[in-house]
Amino acid sequence: MSRAVQFSRNGGPEVLDIVEVDEPHAGRGEVRVSVRAAGLNAFDFKVRQDAAYLPSKKLPSGQGNEFAGVVDEVGDGVDGVSIGDEVLGWVSFAAQADYVVVPPTQLAAKPAALDWATAGGIGLVGNTAKRATDAIAPGPGDTVLVSAAAGGVGLLESQLAIRAGATVIGTASEANHEFLRGLGVIPVAYGPGLADRVRAAAPNGITAVLDSAGEETVLLGLELGVDPKRINTIVYSPGVEKYGIQSVGGGGKTSAELAELASLVASGELVLPIAATYRLSEVREAYTRLESRHLLGKIVMLLP
Ligand SMILES: NC(=O)c1ccc[n+]([C@@H]2O[C@H](COP(=O)([O-])OP(=O)(O)OC[C@H]3O[C@@H](n4cnc5c(N)ncnc54)[C@H](OP(=O)(O)O)[C@@H]3O)[C@@H](O)[C@H]2O)c1
């Protein structure tokens, strides 16, 4: 038997249990990974809280969509992966468990310099941030407004836009401003008065918006004259049809992209702070913290 996080009804962290399941094994074309770290994401709890968020989700369900660990079984027909390889990868609602079984196309090699927690937390926010940032194609001469800049997605979007030569203004709580300044982001507090603060921080105007927080930033971008096609949101779907803005989020993951993100974080070219780690037995506490929505970076569960 092995352990897995599971929920059998919709609700808050209290519906999460650690259950004993039959130990899974790698079938033909599959690899089994003994999990060392599994990242937590807002997507996990949005689906768990609200059955309408992902109607195709059947219960009971596992939890967690990204992981890092050590390959301990290789099925027939798999080449290029060996027992003992350290990897990171993605899986649908099954990562928070002792073992994950996936095809090798959902894995990338873990760079030796990358610690387990970071490796287990990169995949989903990295894929989303890269696609969203590419959607507005920032470059020198751009001033990009990034909302929730201290969150996992916003941190990476901010850094990707800066790497592309743009100036970045990021919204965050005061407590996260110093960290953001260290990355080259100009931080501003969100909430009432945001428009005045952004105007003061960007006297020549804003040319693009990367939104992970909702209506406030999107409407401000429009008010400041940003071309709707250069406003991308990953959370404010009503604005897409209403204002003609973009909504490019996560998707189309590839092993090559995951390897590239892991390499950028391992080399320090991208920074993804780990706000906290928890053991599997603390899964309810971990999601309670995540669901407070005020984090600098990622929360990751460590195993075994
Ligand atoms: N569509 C997609 O494909 C996709 C993919 C990934 C994520 N998402 C969504 O994108 C959002 C961001 O995800 P995440 O993983 O980066 O982190 P998250 O945990 O949802 O966000 C944490 C950040 O949100 C900030 N925040 C909280 N309330 C805010 C507000 N009113 N205005 C501006 N910022 C606020 C917090 O900033 P402070 O701590 O500084 O207060 C914190 O740093 C989530 O809603 C998630 O579901 C969508």
What's the CATH code of the domain at 293? 3.90.180.10
Count CB atoms within 10 A of the CB of residue 141: 10
197 located within any domain: yes
Relative to the CA of 42, which ligand 1 atom is closest? 47
Regions of the chain with pLDDT less than 50: none
Q: How far is the CA of 235 from the centre of ligand 1 (A)?
A: 9
**CA pair distance 158, 260, nearest whole angstrom:** 17
Q: How far is the CA of 118 from the centre of ligand 1 (A)?
A: 18
Q: Which of 202, 224, 243 is the last residue of a domain?
A: 243
Q: How far is the CA of 5 from the centre of ligand 1 (A)?
A: 23
Position 59 scores a pLDDT of 97
Position 5 scores a pLDDT of 98
262 located within any domain: no
Counting ligand 1 atoms within 8 A of each CB, the residue from 293, 296, 300 with the most, and so the one to mutate, is 293
What letters, b where the CB count within 10 A reaches 16 and e where it falls short, cover 13-37?
bebbeeeeeeebebeeebbbbebbb
pLDDT tens sequence across 271-297: 999 999 999 999 999 999 999 999 999
> 177 and 141, same structural domain?
yes
**CA pair distance 213, 90, nearest whole angstrom:** 24
Q: Which of 243, 263, 285 is the last residue of a domain?
A: 243
Q: How far is the CA of 51 from the centre of ligand 1 (A)?
A: 20
* Domain, as residue range, for 294: 2-122+272-302
The tally of domains found in the chain comes to 2
250 located within any domain: no
Which of 283, 212, 223 is CA-nearest to residue 43? Answer: 212
Relative to the CA of 153, which ligand 1 atom is closest? 16
> 293 and 191, same structural domain?
no
263 located within any domain: no
Counting ligand 1 atoms within 8 A of each CB, the residue from 66, 146, 212 with the most, and so the one to mutate, is 212
Position 287 scores a pLDDT of 98
Q: How far is the CA of 151 from the centre of ligand 1 (A)?
A: 5
> 287 and 193, same structural domain?
no
> 91 and 171, same structural domain?
no
The torsion angle over the Cα atoms of residues 243, 249, 251 and 256, rounded to 10 degrees, is: 130
Count CB atoms within 10 A of the CB of residue 73: 17
Pairing label, strands 143-146, 167-171: parallel
> 95 and 146, same structural domain?
no
> 147 and 106, same structural domain?
no
Q: How far is the CA of 74 from the centre of ligand 1 (A)?
A: 37
Please report, as a single letter, which amino acid is at residue 80.
Answer: G
> 131 and 229, same structural domain?
yes
Domain harbouring 151, CATH code? 3.40.50.720
Q: Which of 228, 243, 258 is the last residue of a domain?
A: 243
Position 139 scores a pLDDT of 98
259 located within any domain: no
Residues with CB under 6 A from ligand 1: 41-43, 46, 125, 128, 147-148, 150-154, 171-173, 176, 190, 212-213, 234-235, 249-250, 293-295
Q: How far is the CA of 7 from the centre of ligand 1 (A)?
A: 23
Relative to the CA of 176, which ligand 1 atom is closest? 40
> 46 and 35, same structural domain?
yes
Position 90 scores a pLDDT of 98
pLDDT tens sequence across 220-251: 999 999 999 999 999 999 999 999 999 999 99
> 201 and 281, same structural domain?
no
186 located within any domain: yes
Pairing label, strands 2-7, 61-62: antiparallel
Relative to the CA of 128, which ligand 1 atom is closest? 5
> 211 and 186, same structural domain?
yes
> 101 and 136, same structural domain?
no
> 6 and 117, same structural domain?
yes
pLDDT tens sequence across 121-149: 999 999 999 999 999 999 999 999 999 99
47 located within any domain: yes
What contacts 181, CB < 8 A, 6 or more positions away? Answer: 187
**CA pair distance 158, 51, nearest whole angstrom:** 32
- The residue nearest atom 28 of ligand 1, judged by CA position, is 293
Relative to the CA of 125, which ligand 1 atom is closest? 6
253 located within any domain: no
Which of 116, 118, 100 is CA-nearest to residue 62? Answer: 100
**CA pair distance 256, 8, nearest whole angstrom:** 34
Position 283 scores a pLDDT of 98
